[in-house]
């Protein structure tokens, strides 16, 4: 699995004070300017309700991801147990000495105790994240209703970011699995950045794709507005046109914009996808016999980047009248991929090639490596009507859906779940079921449809909190909720509609 590459969203704060008169609040972010008035301190007393402040996280009975933000690639998250009316802060994808804490206010965030960083903690050596202990939101003894926010910083850098102030909440009314999943995902969307809180750049492309797939599958267009907002806010980001140093990232965004074109018929999205495909192809060469490099450093040829190119170029061919170039490039890349050795004896796909030998490195069979190629071969079948592509796709799909390594007890499980999936892994399963769903719609396979329904139901029953937020383990228990895990849940519940 590749290293975490979240996109930093950083605002600078010269000092931390405690009055909102000088507070610049972007959506999900609270930061203070130099012109803030003097703080009005609150008594730094320990509050006790069901539990007293500083209770261990193991005492939490429920988990709602209330808000999040990022700083230098670190994810700062505010979590709330609405049953206990207590909260905690988490920092993920960080480095040792990174810091996280809570602020508490009893006047809606106008003032708070500037002398106290509740639960202040730093990431210990050898770890990528940490959390505070539990703190009460309200003060029942003095009949005060409070709000919390999570704040954090990267090492000794002066920059500080904070989430928005958040109180306890009431769970929404029961709804359908797909609608509930997408509603909860949109609550983590930040209109000011056009991205999703608590997850990274490429994950956001997949989250957007999931929202579009939901609209196309259900006819519910309440969230179509995020498409243009995401595009306009990020078109000039990174390398422009949704390109960057990682070629696979470009592929994820290309697929998102093709899907956006399908929904809206806005040609600018298709044009951007073409720019992205051409950018990807510019990193194709004859090293190891062909294929597209993973990044601009040209140090790794891997499965997912080439699978993405096969799919992107085939999808473009299917939408551009008279095209032959994209189809030729897609077919050629598939022929190279098939002969590369990355498809192992079990018809599962390893991660990539050894640079020295140009043979498969035998690394982990991540679920998304099994998934993207199913969508790519499905698109090649649509382009050519050559059933050999469909036959190859079903061979691979049979292997991955029946694999006990990937499906212990019949529920799709990422190989990293036991030890933590970082910032990338939580998106992988969503990619798999989305692409299997596309193949299912073409192949009309009852066994694949049954498999997809089983995944959606398992996640709904065992991996969902009262606010329709999903964690990383579809078989349960609920853990590590983020916009990435939520996006995968949208994919699972939409795929289950097949």
The pLDDT of residue 34 is above 70: no
Is 2 contained in some domain?
Answer: no
Is 189 contained in some domain?
Answer: yes
Q: Is the peptide bond before 477 cis (omega within 30 degrees of 0)?
A: yes
Do residues 372 and 269 both lie within one domain? Answer: yes
The pLDDT of residue 18 is above 60: no
Do residues 135 and 205 both lie within one domain? Answer: no
Do residues 415 and 453 both lie within one domain? Answer: yes
Do residues 287 and 197 both lie within one domain? Answer: yes
CATH number at residue 342: 1.50.10.20
Do residues 154 and 189 both lie within one domain? Answer: no
Identify the helix (H) or strand (E) that includes residue 325: helix 325-339
The pLDDT assigned to 114 comes to 81
Is 349 contained in some domain?
Answer: yes
Cα(368)–Cα(364) distance, integer angstroms: 11
Do residues 296 and 331 both lie within one domain? Answer: yes
Q: Which long-range contacts (CB under 8 A, 24 or more apart) does 168-172 make?
A: 168/80, 168/82, 168/85, 168/137, 168/138, 169/64, 169/66, 169/80, 169/82, 169/467, 170/82, 171/82, 171/466, 171/467, 172/467, 172/468
Is 3 contained in some domain?
Answer: no
Could you list the residue range(s) of the whole structural domain that residue 78 is in? 20-162
Do residues 89 and 229 both lie within one domain? Answer: no
Do residues 251 and 333 both lie within one domain? Answer: yes
The pLDDT of residue 64 is above 70: yes
Task: Give the residue from 107, 130, 162 where a domain finishes.
Answer: 162
Residue 214: half-sphere exposure toward Cβ, Cα within 13 Å: 31
Do residues 353 and 411 both lie within one domain? Answer: yes
Do residues 188 and 313 both lie within one domain? Answer: yes
Do residues 40 and 187 both lie within one domain? Answer: no
Cα(407)–Cα(281) distance, integer angstroms: 34
pTM of the prediction? 0.91
| Percent with pLDDT over 70 in the chain | 91
Task: Give the residue from 109, 135, 162 where a domain finishes.
Answer: 162
* DSSP conformation class of 312: H
Tell me what the mean pLDDT of segment 160-172 comes to.
97
Is 4 contained in some domain?
Answer: no
Tell me what the mean pLDDT of segment 84-106 comes to.
96
Is 184 contained in some domain?
Answer: yes
Task: Map tokens 């595009």 to a residue.
Answer: 231
The pLDDT assigned to 113 comes to 87
Compute the C-alpha angle 88/93/94, nearest 5°.
85
The pLDDT assigned to 29 comes to 40
The pLDDT of residue 415 is above 70: yes
Tell me what the mean pLDDT of segment 338-357 comes to.
97
Task: Give the residue from 138, 162, 186 where a domain finishes.
Answer: 162
Domain count, the chain: 2
Positive or negative, the CA dihedral 452, 456, 458, 459 is positive
Integer CA distances (angstroms), 471 to 195, 420, 459, 468, 488, in order: 19, 12, 9, 10, 9
């Amino acid at each position: 699995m590749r290293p975490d590459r979240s996109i930093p969203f950083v605002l600078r704060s010269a000092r931390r004070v405690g009055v909102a008169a000088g507070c610049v609040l972007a959506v999900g972010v609270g930061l203070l300017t130099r012109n803030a008035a003097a703080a009005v301190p609150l008594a730094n007393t320990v509050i006790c309700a069901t539990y007293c402040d500083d209770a261990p996280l193991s005492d939490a009975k429920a988990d709602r991801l209330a808000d999040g933000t990022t700083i230098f690639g670190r994810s700062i998250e505010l979590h709330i147990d609405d049953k206990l009316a207590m909260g905690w802060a988490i920092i993920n994808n960080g480095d040792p000495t990174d810091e996280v804490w809570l602020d508490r206010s009893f006047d809606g965030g106008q003032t708070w105790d500037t002398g106290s960083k509740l639960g202040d903690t730093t990431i210990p050596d050898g770890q990528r994240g940490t959390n505070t202990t539990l703190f009460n939101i309200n003060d029942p003894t003095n009949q005060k209703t409070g709000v919390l926010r999570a704040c954090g910083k990267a090492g000794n850098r002066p920059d500080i970011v904070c989430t928005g102030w958040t109180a306890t909440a009431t769970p929404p009314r029961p709804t359908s699995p797909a609608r509930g999943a997408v509603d909860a995902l949109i609550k983590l969307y930040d209109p000011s950045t056009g991205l999703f809180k608590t997850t990274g750049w490429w994950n956001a492309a997949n989250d957007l794709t999931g929202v579009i797939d939901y609209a196309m599958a259900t006819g519910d267009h309440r969230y179509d507005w995020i498409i243009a907002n995401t595009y306009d806010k990020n078109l000039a980001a990174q390398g422009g046109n949704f390109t960057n140093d990682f070629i696979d990232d470009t592929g994820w965004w290309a697929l998102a914009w093709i899907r956006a074109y399908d929904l809206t018929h806005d040609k600018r999205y298709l044009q951007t996808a073409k720019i992205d495909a051409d950018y990807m192809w510019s990193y194709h060469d004859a090293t190891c016999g062909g294929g597209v490099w993973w990044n601009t450093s040209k140090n790794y040829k891997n499965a997912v980047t080439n699978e993405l190119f096969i799919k992107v170029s085939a999808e473009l061919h299917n939408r551009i009248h008279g095209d032959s170039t994209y189809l030729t490039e897609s077919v050629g890349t598939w022929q190279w991929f098939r002969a590369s050795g990355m498809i192992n004896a079990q018809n599962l796909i390893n991660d990539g090639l050894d640079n020295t030998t140009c043979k498969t490195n035998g690394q982990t069979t991540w679920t998304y490596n099994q998934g993207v190629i199913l969508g790519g071969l499905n698109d090649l079948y649509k382009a050519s009507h050559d059933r050999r592509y469909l036959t190859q796709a079903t061979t691979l799909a049979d292997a991955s859906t029946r694999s006990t390594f990937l499906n212990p007890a019949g529920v799709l499980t990422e190989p990293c779940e036991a030890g933590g999936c970082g910032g990338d892994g939580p998106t992988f399963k969503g990619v798999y079921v989305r692409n299997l769903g596309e193949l299912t719609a073409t192949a009309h396979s009852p066994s694949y449809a049954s498999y997809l329904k089983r995944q959606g139901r398992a996640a709904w029953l065992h991996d969902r909190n009262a606010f329709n937020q999903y964690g990383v383990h579809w078989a349960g228990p609920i853990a590590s909720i983020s916009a990435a895990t939520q996006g995968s849940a949208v994919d699972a519940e939409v795929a289950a509609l097949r």
